[in-house]
A and B are shown apart, each in its own frame.
Chain A
Amino acid sequence: MKKSMNRRDFMKKSAALVAAGSLPLSVVEMSFGKSNSENFTFAYISDSHITHVKGNDFVRNWDRGLIRAVAETNLMDPKPDFVFYGGDIAQLGKPEEIDHGLDILGGLNGKVHYVMGEHDYYLDLGDYWKKQLGPDYYSFDHKGVHFVVLNSILTHEKWMHKKWDKGMDRMLQMARLDNPDGQPFMVGDSQREWLQKDLAKVGKDTPVVVFSHSPIQKIHKGWNFWTDDAEQVQALLKPFDKVTVIYGHVHQIQYNQIGNISFHSAMATAWPWPYPSAYSQVETYLPKLTVEMNRADPFNERDATGWQFINMHTGNVDLNYVLPENKNRVVAFDASQGKPVDRDYQDADKRIPPQVHY
């Protein structure tokens, strides 16, 4: 009978999930730290683009995306040790937008760490964001892992500080895709100097996890899926055994392995971007390892948005994408292959057609 098949399949699936340590909400502890208490998970929410209309009016769809991610994150069991917010709380950096976003994020249980996005920054060069949330680059240690937060969306000092009529003009320039007057993102000299000093205190066998808004790798310049000094930052991370970079900005699933560094992108709660290959005028460099998301169904409003939780049980990352109106995905570091691998779709014959079709 179909029904018993279904039950059996479910049991089989449950067993597989437990073995992989990636049940949607329950995490199986495996050892990497000195004791089991050092294994942990954290959640990651990003790119909500809260947009102020006027008065108390905000774009409802973006509000609901963030509200839903917060509600779902609060279901995690066991609770995540903390939550990361990956940047672009606001659409145009307005204090109203940052405050409204922080109001919604205030619904999260537990500590939240923040990353600066370009949409939070370019109206006032991050002044309001920093007033509300503190420094835009910092590091901390947690249960044997060294966490680093970078502000990777800076650009040439000259451009940022040139004489603008209004901060909003600068913001709108930076918000535009394929902008011929656009500027590339960068971490910059002073932050890289800080990073070098910060990492000097860290043992080479300590797992390092870096958070940035833009990818610390070069994928597509016109949309700033790009950090201009990516190679220099990567060089600073090279001496460590286990390094992971987690970034927002791209509103889509990407993952890569460059030497010892694993890269993972996060979903937006607001909207999905197409993959750069959809823009055929220029060459793009989407990592070959990445199995693309299947194309968003425009009739399902939240499709191709989402949030993620990260299991640190091996010192590398198991990244669990929670995808409303779609199938959740897990991209986990595979020690035998030395790179992140999608649990279900990595093999070419396991993919579903829209993953390779525009």
Chain B
Amino acid sequence: MQTRLLFMILVLGLSSQAIIAAPLGLPPVPVPANNPQTPEKIALGDRLYHDERFSADGKVSCSTCHAREKGFTDNLRVSKGFNGLTGTRNAPTVINAAYYTSQFWDGREPDLEGQSKQPPINPVEGGLKSHDPIIEVIRGDKDYTSAFKQVFNVNANEINMDHVSMAIASFERTIVAGDSAFDKYMYGGDKSALNEAQQRGLAVYLGKGRCVSCHVIEETQALFTDNRFHNIGVGFKKIKGKESETAAQMLAAKRKGADVDKTVLTQENMSELGRFAVTENPTEVGAFKTPTIRNIAVTAPYMHDGSLETLEEVVDFYNNGGRLKESDPVSGFISGGIKPLNLTDQEKKDLVAFMNALTSPEYQALAKKF
């Protein structure tokens, strides 16, 4: 009996492994114990992810701002929600989001399940007043009700937002991509996978550029993120001189019951408080999550506010110690690691060449557009 049970566990383990086989350069995708991957759940999540009915104007789905054909972003400075309303933040790619230990730029949700519930009811994204209309649509759709029955063993009247978010999260956990030229060079034993400029760029990345301090590369894998929050100076000019006032406004709003998700996406100044809006910790003003830089060549524009259009600008921004121009002021809250780098023009070019070697084969066609 025990042997049989063990056998079952092994088989199940293997089959879920097969669904989420890790690409070169990445570890296996972490899957929460209470939401295991199954092919049926992933297919259901895929459909929910693309369903535009879950919005106030019937035109906005997850895919609107996180479109596969745009590297799972929208390539806009900040995202457009229902009726063309815009928020305050750049849509991060879903590619490899499954590896983050918190979601959103400010980490206000711990996982993909929590994340997926917010946009449909944000006033500048899906625009719904509550999740009720989503559940209504699903309960009235026979394909959905039979799929939910199969996946979660629930009847139509038992379907709730937790089921929806679990299915979407399961789908998103399949959107992982490694196998880049860098991975082949670093982990695949192919020393010709990076050209000379890219190899020099990697040296700058690891050395003088100090990029690796936060966009982490390890011996056997590279998530290109430390999953931490840093103030690197982006967006600082918007609240320069008004930091205390803006922080006080945020705290006052929260004491009156304001929702962080709605507040930071609709109030430009408060958006710039970053992680502080979530934790209220004075050491996290203007701190945002380190995003992965895998497939960075296909996910422009850059930074939490989409304020930098090209990788060249990104390199200049860091090279000047957290500002685009040397004459710009530096935020008082800036992280200790952000300082002028004194890179040469050649080093800057090499660094960009290296970042162009982080594109996975499945997104390579998109890279050519940039």
Instruction: Report A's interface with B, CB cutoff 8 A.
Output: 1-3, 6, 23-26, 60-61, 64-65, 67-68, 70-72, 74-77, 107, 109, 299-302, 306, 322-325, 328
CB distance from B140 to the nearest CB of A (A): 25
CB distance from B277 to the nearest CB of A (A): 13
- Specify which chain A residues have a CB less than 8 angstroms from the CB of B335 in the assembled complex: 301-302, 325
- Specify which chain B residues have a CB less than 8 angstroms from the CB of A325 in the assembled complex: 283, 335-336
Cα A301 to Cα B214 with chains together (Å): 12
What would 26 A/B residue contacts be, using CB atoms closer than 8 Å?
Answer: A1-B165, A2-B111, A2-B113, A3-B109, A6-B110, A6-B114, A23-B280, A25-B282, A26-B251, A64-B334, A64-B336, A64-B339, A71-B331, A72-B283, A72-B285, A74-B244, A76-B282, A77-B248, A301-B335, A302-B335, A302-B336, A306-B283, A322-B283, A323-B283, A324-B283, A328-B281
- Specify which chain A residues have a CB less than 8 angstroms from the CB of B248 in the assembled complex: 75, 77
Main secondary structure of the interface of A (DSSP, over half): loop
Q: Does B32 contact A (CB under 8 A)?
A: yes
Q: Are A3 and B114 in contact (CB under 8 A)?
A: yes
- Specify which chain A residues have a CB less than 8 angstroms from the CB of B333 in the assembled complex: 68, 71-72
- Specify which chain A residues have a CB less than 8 angstroms from the CB of B332 in the assembled complex: 67-68, 70-71, 107
A24-B113 contact in complex given A61-B336, A301-B337, C-beta closer than 8 Å: no
Q: Are A3 and B336 in contact (CB under 8 A)?
A: no
Q: Are B114 and A77 in contact (CB under 8 A)?
A: no
A65 nearest CB neighbor, chain B only: B336
Cα A185 to Cα B339 with chains together (Å): 37
Q: Are B334 and A3 in contact (CB under 8 A)?
A: no
Q: Does B106 contact A (CB under 8 A)?
A: no
**Most chain B beta-carbon contacts within 10 A, residue among A2, A23, A322:** A2
Q: Which of B114, B213, B283 contacts A328 (CB 8 A)?
A: B283
Cα A5 to Cα B51 with chains together (Å): 28
CB distance from A196 to the nearest CB of B (A): 40
CB distance from A20 to the nearest CB of B (A): 15
Per-residue A-contact encoding for B329-353, CB less than 8 Å = 1, 0 else: 0011111110100000000000000
B117 nearest CB neighbor, chain A only: A3
Cα A76 to Cα B251 with chains together (Å): 11
**Most chain B beta-carbon contacts within 10 A, residue among A76, A299, A322, A325:** A325
Cα A109 to Cα B245 with chains together (Å): 13
Per-residue A-contact encoding for B268-294, CB less than 8 Å = 1, 0 else: 000000000000111101000000000
Q: Which of B109, B243, B283 contacts A74 (CB 8 A)?
A: B243
Q: Does B162 contact A (CB under 8 A)?
A: yes
- Specify which chain A residues have a CB less than 8 angstroms from the CB of B331 in the assembled complex: 71
Cα A2 to Cα B34 with chains together (Å): 9
Cα A6 to Cα B280 with chains together (Å): 16
A3 nearest CB neighbor, chain B only: B114
Q: Are B113 and A3 in contact (CB under 8 A)?
A: yes
CB distance from B133 to the nearest CB of A (A): 20
- Specify which chain A residues have a CB less than 8 angstroms from the CB of B94 in the assembled complex: none
Q: Are A301 and B244 in contact (CB under 8 A)?
A: no
- Specify which chain A residues have a CB less than 8 angstroms from the CB of B265 in the assembled complex: none
CB distance from B110 to the nearest CB of A (A): 5
Q: Are B282 and A24 in contact (CB under 8 A)?
A: yes
- Specify which chain B residues have a CB less than 8 angstroms from the CB of A25 in the assembled complex: 247, 251, 280, 282
Cα A77 to Cα B285 with chains together (Å): 14
B214 nearest CB neighbor, chain A only: A299
B276 nearest CB neighbor, chain A only: A75
Q: Are A2 and B283 in contact (CB under 8 A)?
A: no
- Specify which chain A residues have a CB less than 8 angstroms from the CB of B34 in the assembled complex: 1
Cα A291 to Cα B332 with chains together (Å): 30
CB distance from A107 to the nearest CB of B (A): 8
CB distance from A19 to the nearest CB of B (A): 16
A67 nearest CB neighbor, chain B only: B332
- Specify which chain A residues have a CB less than 8 angstroms from the CB of B282 in the assembled complex: 24-25, 72, 75-76, 322
- Specify which chain B residues have a CB less than 8 angstroms from the CB of A109 in the assembled complex: 244
Q: Which of A65, A75, A301, A328 contacts B285 (CB 8 A)?
A: A75
9 A-B pairs with the lowest CB-CB distances in the bound complex, closest first? A301-B336, A71-B332, A3-B114, A302-B336, A324-B283, A72-B282, A75-B282, A67-B332, A75-B247
Since A322-B283, A325-B336 are in contact, a sample of 15 more A-B pairs with Cβ atoms closer than 8 Å, ordered by chain A residue number, is: A1-B34, A3-B113, A3-B114, A6-B110, A64-B334, A68-B333, A70-B332, A72-B282, A75-B243, A76-B282, A77-B248, A77-B251, A301-B337, A302-B336, A328-B283
Q: Are B110 and A299 in contact (CB under 8 A)?
A: no
CB distance from B130 to the nearest CB of A (A): 16
Among B267-324, those with CB < 8 Å from A are 280-283, 285
Q: Are A68 and B251 in contact (CB under 8 A)?
A: no
Per-residue A-contact encoding for B227-252, CB less than 8 Å = 1, 0 else: 00000000000000001100110010
B103 nearest CB neighbor, chain A only: A3
Q: Are B336 and A324 in contact (CB under 8 A)?
A: yes
Cα A24 to Cα B280 with chains together (Å): 7
A74 nearest CB neighbor, chain B only: B244
- Specify which chain B residues have a CB less than 8 angstroms from the CB of A74 in the assembled complex: 243-244
A61 nearest CB neighbor, chain B only: B336
CB distance from B290 to the nearest CB of A (A): 13
Among B111-142, those with CB < 8 Å from A are 111, 113-114, 117
- Specify which chain A residues have a CB less than 8 angstroms from the CB of B213 in the assembled complex: 299
Q: Are B162 and A1 in contact (CB under 8 A)?
A: yes
- Specify which chain B residues have a CB less than 8 angstroms from the CB of A300 in the assembled complex: 336-337
Cα A302 to Cα B162 with chains together (Å): 40
A7 nearest CB neighbor, chain B only: B114
- Specify which chain A residues have a CB less than 8 angstroms from the CB of B165 in the assembled complex: 1
Cα A103 to Cα B244 with chains together (Å): 19
A5 nearest CB neighbor, chain B only: B110
CB distance from B166 to the nearest CB of A (A): 8
- Specify which chain A residues have a CB less than 8 angstroms from the CB of B336 in the assembled complex: 61, 64-65, 300-302, 324-325
Cα A88 to Cα B247 with chains together (Å): 30
Cα A65 to Cα B334 with chains together (Å): 10
Cα A74 to Cα B280 with chains together (Å): 14
A68-B280 contact in complex given A3-B113, A299-B213, C-beta closer than 8 Å: no
Q: Are A71 and B243 in contact (CB under 8 A)?
A: yes
B114 nearest CB neighbor, chain A only: A3
- Specify which chain A residues have a CB less than 8 angstroms from the CB of B110 in the assembled complex: 2-3, 6
Q: Are B334 and A68 in contact (CB under 8 A)?
A: yes
Q: Are A60 and B339 in contact (CB under 8 A)?
A: yes
Cα A70 to Cα B251 with chains together (Å): 20
B273 nearest CB neighbor, chain A only: A75
- Specify which chain A residues have a CB less than 8 angstroms from the CB of B117 in the assembled complex: 3
Cα A281 to Cα B282 with chains together (Å): 39
CB distance from A21 to the nearest CB of B (A): 15
Q: Are A77 and B247 in contact (CB under 8 A)?
A: yes
